[in-house]
Amino acid sequence: MEYVQSLIREVPNFPKKGILFYDITPVLAEPKAFSMLIGYFKNRYKNKKITKVVGIESRGFIFGGALAESLSAGFVPMRKPGKLPYKKVAKEYSLEYGTDKIEMHEDALNSHDRVLLVDDLIATGGTAQAAAALIKEQGATLVECAFVIELNFLKGRDKLFPHEVHSIIKY
d(C-alpha 87, C-alpha 150), whole Å: 32
Q: Could you give the residue numbers annotated as active site? A: 59, 96
Q: Contact at 8 Å (CB) between 30 and 5? A: no
Handedness of CA 103, 100, 138, 87 (dihedral sign): negative
Cα-only R_g, the chain: 15
d(C-alpha 129, C-alpha 10), whole Å: 25
d(C-alpha 117, C-alpha 96), whole Å: 23
